[in-house]
Structure 1
């Protein structure tokens, strides 16, 4: 059956239709479809980014709370360590040793954090997959 041949299911017979689409109509439809596809991809990317940003925001808030609790814990543990070392040395020297331990810890964590951030790549896996499918579809339509 060709584009011009249509079967009339009610009559059960073939009817020849001379209805043809002009090249302009076909190009217009393709342009409309591509425009719709691009808009859908943009909407998908926006939705995915919004979902990821919401998740990241919640995680950041939890990290903030954990940071405050962790800071208070370390503050009191540092005071306890200073008073413990005070049994064997002057309190000033004990406080200096505890401060140097925390300074070294901060430096190591800052360097490792910087390295991790430099290795991140913002990716949108669902959008990337969908775009690859769209490219394959467009190539198939072209040939």
Structure 2
């Protein structure tokens, strides 16, 4: 008996399945779909691992840059404080530098809060697509 899962000849003829039961064919289709889904999942996992590794390296670089930027701002603040203390009392100079940073912090907070209000944590396109899956399986 020829293998009904074998691809047809060079002309692309469909395989001969005349002697195979519908239940056997459905079982084979189910196994093939299961194998395909496992392979797709393994591929997605491999791709995600690779991208996560790249993202981790990028995050490390951003973290180092952020720390370096923090140090620059810290020393510039100390230099501003020292410079202002040449023309006024050291306490007032420190207070002025702190006030400048308080204004910067307030502006950053307002911008961050406004951006947080505009975010939508629900992946709307994915939810819409998943709602369509049952209808697609039913042939609608």
TM-score, with normalisation over the residues of structure 1? 0.62
Q: CA deviation at 1:32?
A: 0.7
Structure 1 runs of 4+ off > 6 angstroms?
Answer: 120-123
Q: SS state of the match for residue 21, structure 1? A: coil
- Corresponding residue for residue 92 of structure 1: 91
Alpha-carbon separation, structure 1, partners of 2:9 and 2:51: 51
Alpha-carbon separation, structure 2, partners of 1:65 and 1:25: 60
Between stretches 101-110 and 88-97, larger displacement belongs to 101-110
Mark the runs of 5 or more structure 1 residues left unpaired by the alignment.
Answer: 10-16
Between stretches 80-89 and 100-109, larger displacement belongs to 100-109
Mark the runs of 5 or more structure 2 residues left unpaired by the alignment.
Answer: 11-15
- Corresponding residue for residue 50 of structure 2: 51
TM-score, with normalisation over the residues of structure 2? 0.63
Structure ranking higher in strand proportion: 1
* 1:1-143 alignment runs, 5 A limit: 19-113=18-112, 115=115, 119=119
Alpha-carbon separation, structure 1, partners of 2:29 and 2:9: 28
Alpha-carbon separation, structure 2, partners of 1:116 and 1:77: 30
**Larger relative CO (CA 8 A, sep 6+): 1 or 2?**
1
Q: CA deviation at 1:20?
A: 2.0
Q: CA deviation at 1:82?
A: 0.8
CA 69–33 in structure 1, closer or farther in 2 if over 3 Å, else same: same
Q: SS state of the match for residue 88, structure 2? A: coil
